[in-house]
Structure formats: C-alpha cells, structure tokens
Structure 1
C-alpha cells in the first residue's frame, strides 16, 4: 500500500480473520487481511463473488451476521473497533461511517416514506427535531442531484428509479457527516450511463466533504478509475495490493492479470470474455 504517516491513516486493518459458523464447524472466509485507508483517500477492494470483500466491509462496520466472528484489529482513528462493546461500536459506526448498499430495494423500507427513513439517523445521531431533520433531508437529496421539486421525501422506494434509489442511499450514508464512506458494489444492476453518474457523484462528494472512500467491486477496470489504492481478493486472501495505477499497469499476480483481461471492454461481447481458472491461484494461498 501507499506509505502513510500514522496521522494520515483513518482506517488500518491488521490481520483480520472472519469465521462463519456452519453445521460442520467454523469456516474461515477472510484470512489475515491487511489494508490501510488514509484520510481523504480512496481504496478499492476487488474480487469475484465469494472472495470475501463484502464480508470485510461488514466486519469494518460491525454489522456482521450473528453467524460470523471477526478477529484481528480494525483500527479506526487509532481505536480498535473489534475491542469495543457492540452497542458502542454500532453507535460509532452509525455516526462515523456511512454505508452504501449494493441493492437499495432491499436496504430501504418498503412501507415508510423516503423522508421518514432519512430523518431517523438524523434524529438519532444528531438530535435534530422532526422539522429540522426533514429540512436537512431535502438539502441532502439536493446535494446528490435530486431537487426538492421531485417530491422524493414523500415517495416510497418502489416509486423511484434504480438511479434515484441509489442516490437516496448515498444521501442517507452521508447524512451524519461521516469520515468514512463504504460503497459495496454501488452500481449493481444499473446501466452503464447511470453507473458512471453514481461513481462520479461519489468522487465529487469525496472532494466536497473530505471523505475517505472504501469502494468494493468485482470490476477492477472500474475501480482503477476511482481509487488511489487497491486490494485484490480471492477466496478471502489478499492476492495483491498497492497503488492502483501500479497494480493495473504492472500486476504481480496472475489472478490480477486475469481480472483485468476479464473486464468488459468496448468491442467484446460478454460470451467471449476469458474465463479465470481460479483453482490455479486458490492452491497457492491455501
């Protein structure tokens, strides 16, 4: 990873292991992961489905399912989050970290208005009144490109387009003015034009609000355009990490090269993209 001074580091993950409890016993899904995210920096975690990238993000946020256990160190502003009581950690994460889920239809409540859902964290974490929370919600929607005239505060999630739902999720994720924004596959199921708009919006918000961004994706080509550093994961292991431009231009891992070759490019139909033989690389990390 890029060399940073201690004061420049916002998030420092050291030796992170995540075990999932199964009927056959614990199964490790993240192995001794190391990553560093500097203040106002952007870090990408890239890998195929099942690589452990989303499990890493939920471990950082403290929202792992009850069947998963994390160990190691997750240092946020120098404090080890894994050592905090669960209640304190949830409160800290809600205030200090924002999370953009990959599927807003599942993350947003279907029977509550957008305004009510946006107001909840503002009232809980910032102590705003109902009126203040609604006004702030309108400001946040405007900030992410949804003007008040669209009437989104009084709408329900099923009434919004995919792009608007994701903009609402982003507005909610930054509502408590976090220092860290975690975006887990934020452009899933969106067409290419809307994908670019959402990622450009995240980049603009990072600059405007001074955020640090952890961007999770299966697409290394996409991540390369929006991050300073990157970690490439396979089956819970970090296969390669470093400055994004170096990893993309001169990858050291054959698996990273495979991801780059498998990234969709203009003129390539999906059925002609190369297939990565993961077994070649999985054996090397076991």
Structure 2
C-alpha cells in the first residue's frame, strides 16, 4: 500500500523504553520501532561478538533512546500527540526518568522508507580505475575505468565504506591475470566482482548469510563476468583448492580466527588482504598474522579503519 504516513517519535532514555513504547501500543498504531543504544553499548565484548558496531549508526549517536510509532493519515494526529504528552507526564509524575521526553511528528511517504536512501548513492570512484555505479544511475565510463554495476539491496557493501574502498585499492595492486581469489564474507559481492573485473582467472565469493548470497548472485548478472561463483557457507569451509589471494572485509576477531584456515587455503607467497579492523585491534591482527607465518606488507588507514596486506612466507 502506498500513501502518506505520520511518524511520531519520543526521545527518551533506555530505562524508559518499555513504558514509553507501551503508550504507542495502547494507541494501536501501525508499527512501533525502538532504538536503544544499550543494544550496542552493553554487548559482551570478545570474539564472535559485534562489539565493532558503530554507535554512530543510531539516530542520536547513543546519547538518547527513541521510540517511533507510525500512524495513518486518517488518524487524528493532534489527538494522538495530546494523548502521548499526557501519558508522558503521568510517567514523569511516577518518578520515571524520561530524559528529554521530546515528541516529534513527521509526515513521510511510504515509498520513501525503501527508496529515499538511493538518492544519496551515486557513482563513486574507489580506486585508480574502479567505479562503483548503482544500477539505477547513468554513468559513462572512460576507457581506463572499470565499471562495477551494483544493487546492494539488503546486503552489506556499496563501495562507499572505508573498509571496502581500501580492499578494492589493495585488489588493484595485487590481483594478477592468473590469480585465483577467495572473497570471504562477500556481502553484496562487490569485492569478488572487482577481482573478476581486474582479470582474475577465477573468483569464489562466500557468505554465511543467504540474503547476501542472493544479493551477490543478482549483482553478478549486472556485470559482464563469467569467472566468479558465489557459495553459501561458513568462512572457508565450502571452498576447495588453493588461492593466490584471499580478501576478507569482516572484523578483527573473525580475521584472527580465520587466519590459520587462510594459511591452508593460500599457495606459497599468497596474499591475504584483511579489513574491517578498528585502530585498537590493529596490533592484535598484525601479531596474529605474524605468529601464523605471514609477513605484513602494508598497513593502510582510512578514517577509523585499517586494511592490512600480508604475504604467506
């Protein structure tokens, strides 16, 4: 159903999320969304956890919690707002810390939820010659540019993130015409496609997320590549044979777990390109690589992230 919806949100505290969200549920609104910074801040730290999650992805950067409710145009919004304000005051009178307790209403088109982000995603040059072009944009590539057509869909990887950009730049330097490349955690398939466009002999992209696998396979269809296959599986468990180059744009802890398997999967002098490494995990990854038998060739930085290139001794 298309149409105009009204988003009503209350800026509050984590401890008040339950009673505030109860106000919206009592209104029988068309949907309730809760944003709690403690979902990130209180996570267990360590291997296989998501402590790498960036608090900046939240609307209020972790400084406040938020409850959003969605109402139809025909709902009496002034009455809705009045009801919410009254109930918030009742919660305050009960001694509940609501923080800012600001109520904001915004009109929005339903189709905007799915498509508005696309207006900010434009063709982007991320290396010496690699240009990432969303499939809905027009772009005339020059003779020396490699054009990668992409619809990221629900999978990670648009080419605009620092980690993806650094991996792409490293692939430009290290992929050869006879290279076999494994892309671990392929997401949208962007790095696998880049390796294929750079002339690799064969590329295998692997992801544990079936949504990512489907997205990557779709993106292969938008690009003139026949040297790439996408597999569903855990890390390198489903990959056969040896590679000349392995690229893994994931997180530091998983890279450290993955490194012994990468060593087995690489030919002698093979290259391991790793990214998704925040600054305070950089030395951990370097030490792990060196202890596993790799020589670190490059440590590149972009923003808060690092990309490490190592060669198997």
The TM-score normalised by the length of structure 2 is 0.28
Q: Where is the strand percentage greater, Structure 1 or Structure 2?
A: 2
Instruction: Report the structure number with the largest CA radius of gyration.
Output: 2
Q: Where is the helix percentage greater, Structure 1 or Structure 2?
A: 1
The TM-score normalised by the length of structure 1 is 0.30
